[in-house]
Amino acid sequence: MTAYNCPNCGARINELAKIARMAACDSCDTALLIEDEVVRATGQKGVMHEATSLFDIGDTVKAGDSSVLLRGKARFSYGRGFWDEFWGLDAVGKPVWISLDEGDVAVQRELVDASLSRAVQNADIGDAITLGRREFVISEIETAECVALRGAFDHELKVGESYEFINALGKNGALLSYEYWIGGAQLYLGQWFSPFDIEVEAAP
């Protein structure tokens, strides 16, 4: 088995390397990118000030039909404050993102649909977006900055990098999100949940 070590402090990160492309070293302040059995430093993991949270890395979140073991946490700062994005794996090992913003919880999965990219980027608040037979109305257009990283992720994030994002709401709490940045973009589809509708199994 390949031995993965932090290039900054030498700490072993084998467990994270099995599941992730991006990780924050638990032993120092270095954000790490894992590519083709090579680990390289990509910057600092940032300062994540303590804040009350419904769940954290290592917990299992159950919402609707999803049960997700949380492996990474990213904090984003935007106009009204900050929110936390958690990355994890469901019961069959598929990646899931869970957002925690002002007490509300959104559970989303990446969606591959390049046809929406240009239309979404040129849209305004109140515009409608059609995805299959479902209609979503844009409710939010903002810019956010990644300010801190902890744990592991399935793609690269950088502290200090800005991301444009668009949220669009559908019926019964359905949520369509689009994020784009220099060099990339990603679409997500999921659902908003009340904190009273989720279960959290704390890390052992």
Q: For residue 16, give the H/E element and its range.
A: helix 14-19
**Cα–Cα distance list, 200 to 96, 111, 203 (Å):** 15, 25, 9
Say if residue 20 is in the same domain as residue 76: no
DSSP structure class, residue 120: H
Say if residue 65 is in the same domain as residue 38: no
Question: Taking all residues of the chain, what is their mean pLDDT, rounded to a whole number?
Answer: 84
The answer to whether residue 43 scores a pLDDT higher than 60 is no
pLDDT digits (tens, 9 = 90+) for 98-136: 999 878 899 999 987 656 666 677 789 999 988 888 899
Q: Give the total number of structural domains in the chain.
A: 2
Say if residue 65 is in the same domain as residue 34: no
Cα–Cα distance, 179 to 185 (Å, whole number) = 6
Say if residue 26 is in the same domain as residue 122: no
Kindly state the tokens that stand for 143.
């810019």
191: domain range? 60-201
138 in Cβ contact with 150 (< 8 Å): no
Residue 16 domain flag: yes
Pick from 1-15, 98-112, 135-149: least confident:
1-15
Say if residue 107 is in the same domain as residue 177: yes
Residue 52 domain flag: no
Say if residue 108 is in the same domain as residue 12: no
Residue 71 domain flag: yes
Say if residue 39 is in the same domain as residue 96: no
How confident is the model at residue 41, as a pLDDT?
A: 60
Say if residue 106 is in the same domain as residue 12: no
Residue 19 neighbours by CB distance under 10 Å: 19
pTM over 0.95: no
Cα–Cα distance, 105 to 178 (Å, whole number) = 17
Residue 53 domain flag: no
Say if residue 23 is in the same domain as residue 82: no
Residue 12 domain flag: yes
Say if residue 137 is in the same domain as residue 38: no
How confident is the model at residue 86, as a pLDDT?
A: 95
The answer to whether residue 203 scores a pLDDT higher than 80 is yes
Say if residue 10 is in the same domain as residue 37: yes
Say if residue 133 is in the same domain as residue 188: yes
Q: For residue 14, give the H/E element and its range.
A: helix 14-19
Residue 185 domain flag: yes
Residue 110 neighbours by CB distance under 10 Å: 15
Cα–Cα distance, 17 to 53 (Å, whole number) = 26
DSSP structure class, residue 196: G
Residue 55 domain flag: no
